[in-house]
């Protein structure tokens, strides 16, 4: 019973964090200045990473990506060659899932196929997050670009 009860609520740290989100320090309270600085730094970093990733994706031929408007995700559209779509069909996958599985096998990078989000028929997307630390982005985006370039060349 005790073990089952543990699953019903968050741990103490989670409860404290939720409490801070609901009622952050107010102006004039001792921790207000630090809270405001940390919040601004985190949000600024997320915004910067989102812009950096969208820019890098838009520089790859066959990918177009809108800027993030909320949440922590980007939904780049894949403009895949007909041979890639045919290979995906032959393998029994939607083309975007085929792309995502190949990306995972080649790089270890995990993205979610857009076909799981009921995208418009005939279009292909994937969902990615911009949560990796800024210092990891160069490596992550390099792996993605290298894979994408090879994938597009293979099916050109």
Per residue in 39-49, pLDDT tens?
Answer: 999 999 999 99
Distances in Å between the Cα of 125 and the Cα atoms of 32, 37, 99, 103, 128 are 41, 36, 10, 13, 10
Instruction: Give the pairing of strands 77-78 and 63-64.
Output: antiparallel
Rounded percentage of the chain residues whose pLDDT exceeds 90: 76
* CATH for the stretch 28-154: 3.90.1150.10
Domain ranges across the chain:
28-154
Question: What is the band of 68 on the pLDDT scale with cuts at 50, 70, 90?
Answer: very high
CA distance linking residue 30 with residue 54, whole number of Å: 38
> What is the pLDDT averaged over residues 110-124?
89
What's the whole-number mean pLDDT along residues 75-98?
97
Residue 5 has pLDDT above 80, yes or no: no
pLDDT score, position 6: 59
Determine the average pLDDT of the residues in 109-127: 91
Residue 71 pLDDT level (bands cut at 50, 70, 90): confident
Looking at every residue in the chain, the average pLDDT score rounds to: 92
> Which of 154, 156, 151 has the alpha carbon at shortest distance from 96?
151
Could you tell me which residues come within 8 angstroms of residue 1 by beta carbon, excluding any fewer than 6 positions away? none
Cα distances (Å, whole numbers) of residue 63 to 52, 81, 131? 15, 11, 20
Q: Which residue has the higher pLDDT, 131 or 7?
A: 131
Which pLDDT belongs to residue 54? 97
Full DSSP string of 89-105: HHHTS-HHHHHHHHHHH
Mean pLDDT of 58-77: 94
The predicted model gives 111-118 an average pLDDT of 90
């Amino acid at each position: 019973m005790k073990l089952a009860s543990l699953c019903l609520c968050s741990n103490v740290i989670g409860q404290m964090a939720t409490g801070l989100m609901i009622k952050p320090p107010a102006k004039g309270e001792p921790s207000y200045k630090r809270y405001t600085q940390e919040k601004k730094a985190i949000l600024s970093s997320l915004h910067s990473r989102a812009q950096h990733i969208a820019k890098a994706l838009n520089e790859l031929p066959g990918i177009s990506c809108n800027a993030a408007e909320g949440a922590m995700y980007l939904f780049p559209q894949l403009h895949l060659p007909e041979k890639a779509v045919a290979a995906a069909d032959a393998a029994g996958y939607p083309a975007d899932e085929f792309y995502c599985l190949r990306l995972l096998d080649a790089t270890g990078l995990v993205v979610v196929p857009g076909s799981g989000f009921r995208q418009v028929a005939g279009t292909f997307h994937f969902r990615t997050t911009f949560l990796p630390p800024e210092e990891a982005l160069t490596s992550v985006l390099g792996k993605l670009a290298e894979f994408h370039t090879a994938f597009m060349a293979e099916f050109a």
